[in-house]
Structure 1
Amino acid sequence: MTTPPQVLCFGEALVDRLGPPGGDPATDQPIDDCLGGAPANVACALARLGTGSALLGRLGEDGIGAEFREILRSRGVDIRALQWDPERPSRTVLVRRDSSGDRSFGGFAGDKGDGFADQAVEASALAAPLEELLAGARWLLVGTIPLATPTSATALRFAVERAEQAGIPLALDVNWRPTFWPTSPERALESLRPLLSRAALIKVSAEEADWIAGSRDPQHISASLPQAPAVLITDGPGALTWWLGGQAGRLEAFTVPVVDTTGAGDAFLAGVLHRLCQEPELLDTAPAEQVRDAMRFASGCGALVCQGAGAIDPQPTEAQVQRFLATA
């Protein structure tokens, strides 16, 4: 039975085409097509952990869309606000992996000339299902990729405004991916500043922290924004740092055998939101040890995803995370 959605995830669902380590996914074999897209990854990871989620976005009426429909339903992700495009295809992203499993994005496949379905989310079609979903939601999670296209940017801003009116806090995953943007990093940053100034929780990588604030100090980043949000900074195999609940913290990454890092940050963020739904006091009043325990749990989610291929298939249950943490 589907759990009522507590976290609404707005944004892209797509295929990550993984090339062989050190190879080119556009030309080299073998390739591995894995369902992904940061908001879709978080929605699936939340459902796997036991927190109800919904995905708000747009997919093509194609094979990729059909695969997503199946996996989202099997995970119990609410798809009433997911739109289906009869003309534009679902997006395939070409992902290169180095010998350590770290990845980079190198372009797209499947465009027929009108762009991809995720770029065409319609605000008008989102209105009715969004109102239903907001009635039971605790968080709205958004990334920044929809801002790269005018139509999807309008829909994203609509969702953010409606959530704000309903008193639902905003979680922002900066998720800076230059490949998706037709403009300069400077102009892209200007377009996402309003989200930075409205979010209650901001998740960034260390490089993204440099980009948005010129600092890797989460407390400094929080203090630079009018609403003083919680800030989480991930750094791959480096340390996680945070400013959460008025407390600073640091946690070294778990050492695990890495197959593919795609989706590890999304699993981490899902772990954070999962614990925030269970323990909302983490945002402002929890003691330091409780905050650290939540960050350790979220880091365990990311570490387990690194040990499998793709972003969704390796996502753990809460019990699997707890078993991992007991021996880590």
Structure 2
Amino acid sequence: MYVQTDKEKVTLMKILCVGMMVCDIPLYPVPDNILKLDSWKISNAVPTTGGDALNVSVGLAKLGMEVSLCGRVGRDSNGAFVKACVAKEGVDISSVIEDLEYPTAASYILIDTLNERHFLTSNKIFDSLSAEDVPEEKIKKADLVYFGSAMIMERMDRDGIEKLFRKSRSLGKITAMDTAMNTAMNSTGQVNYYEQMKCALYETDYFLPSYDEAKILTGEELPEKIAERLKEFNMKALVIKLGKKGCYATDFVKGKYISTIEGMPVKDTTGAGDSFVAAFLCGISQGWDIFKSAAFGNTVASLNVGAVGATAGIPDFKSALAFFEKQDIQY
């Protein structure tokens, strides 16, 4: 626990983030007919950091939380860059592993004229991460353990998340999970994600998937029906991210649609969902209920998309809270 700081923030939880770490290279603006053109002029291609666990850890740090990160990068220049960027934000990276077999995951992000994202990725390293990579001492020091990459990391999906969360709960920790599957590659029905993820879901307190991922996971179309399907797992809450429409949050007693902020400038939607998750967990750490935490998540995500980069638009907690309190968000 921490005392009041000069940022006027009391941190009530220490959070351990586990999952993807990526070197992102955003390319913009990219026209729809790029494959029919010989060349096209874009803005400077400046590398940045990405991956949901990494993004959430940086978002939490920007919001004043104490956070550590566990994942894998290659022993290469991209890995060194990613670690340096995360450490600069105040995230503890002492548990980040340098993989000697695979290079650091990389994404070339094509941002079109409507500010929508399209990814070209190299991420074989994702399959290397295992529950054994997470030091027990880090779990013991945390109050909440967040896994950000379900449905895309082979060893963790198989039984790693379940092991990590069962260990975390045995040590009295809260667990939270997001999904990160590539919906374009995994919408064929070849994998029964519901059966694959059941054991992990039973060990999850807060589940925060996107709508597309929740739909593929459960086979249901409506958020209310998705919630009904997931009720068996006795979670504290389900929050379904709905993009520019906001989110649907439920404690399985009552559910609410919470809108985002209209009229906000949009430059890059990369990391929008991750900034939402960071702000939601920050809200939970304040002792807020899930609905206020989700509304705060919508607010921070709305601010974040106004800058280019997965976490570039996330403000400090004091600024985010002041902006949030001025909005007329019904929650």
TM range (shorter): 0.7 to 0.9
**Which stretch shifts more, 309-318 or 156-165?**
156-165
Alpha-carbon displacement from aligned partner over 1:168-188 (angstroms, at most 9, x marks no partner): 222111233246769955334
For residues 263-320 of structure 1, the C-alpha deviation after alignment (integer angstroms, 9 at most, x for no partner) is 11111111111121221x63xxxxxxxx543322221111111001111222221122
Work out which of the residue numbers 98, 105, 108 in structure 1 matches 2:121.
108
Out of 96-105 and 298-307, give the one that drifted further.
96-105
Query: What is the aligned counterpart of 2:245 among 238, 241, 247?
Result: 238
Q: How far 1:326 moved relative to its partner?
A: 4.4
1:150 to 1:99, Cα distance in 2 relative to 1, 3 A: same
Aligned letter for 1:176?
M
Q: Could you say which residue in structure 2 is the equivalent of 1:285?
A: none
Of 1, 21, 42, the match for 1:13: 21
Letter in 2 for 1:320: S
Q: Which amino acid aligns with 1:325?
A: F
Match among 197, 211, 218 for residue 192 of structure 1? 197
Q: Does 1:202 align with 2:230?
A: no
Q: Secondary structure at the match of 1:237?
A: helix
TM-score using structure 1 length: 0.82
> For residues 155 and 239 of structure 1, do their structure 2 counterparts lie closer, same or farther at Cα, with a shift above 3 Å needed?
closer
CA separation of 1:22/1:165 partners in 2, compared to 1, >3 Å: closer, same or farther? Answer: same
Which residue is 2:323 aligned to? 324
- Helix, strand or coil at the partner of 2:29: coil
SS at 2:191 equivalent: helix
**Is residue 222–residue 229 contact of structure 1 (8 Å, CA) maintained in 2?**
no
Alignment of 1:140 onto 2:154:
no
Structure 2's unaligned 5+ residue stretches are 3-10
2:146/2:175 contact within 8 Å kept? yes
In structure 2, what is the equivalent of residue 298 of structure 1? Answer: 297
Query: Is the counterpart of residue 40 in structure 1 residue 54 in structure 2?
Result: yes
For the structure 1 residues 211 and 87, does the alpha-carbon distance in structure 2 shift closer, same or farther, using more than 3 Å as the test?
A: closer
Partner AA of 2:19 in structure 1:
G
* Mapping 1:139-218, distance limit 5 Å: 139-145=144-150, 147-150=152-155, 155-178=160-183, 186-213=191-218, 214=220, 215-217=222-224
Tell me if structure 2 keeps the 8 A contact 1:10–1:156. Answer: no
Equivalent residue of 2:310, what SS? coil
**1:147–1:153 CA contact under 8 A, matched in 2:** no
Q: Which residue of 1 aligns with 2:7?
A: none
Distance across 2 between alignment mates of 1:202 and 1:152:
15
Give the 3-state SS of the residue equivalent to 2:141 in structure 1.
Answer: coil
Residues 84, 12 of structure 1: CA spacing in aligned structure 2 closer, same or farther, 3 A cutoff? same
Shift of the 124–91 alpha-carbon distance from structure 1 to 2, 3 Å rule, reads: same
Aligned-residue identity in percent: 22
Aligned residues: 308
Cα–Cα, structure 1 residues 298 and 149, in superposed 2: closer, same or farther, change >3 Å?
same
Contact 1:147 1:192 in 2 (8 A): no
Structure 1 segments unaligned to the other structure (5+ residues): 283-290
Q: 1:273 to 1:98 in 2, by over 3 A?
A: same
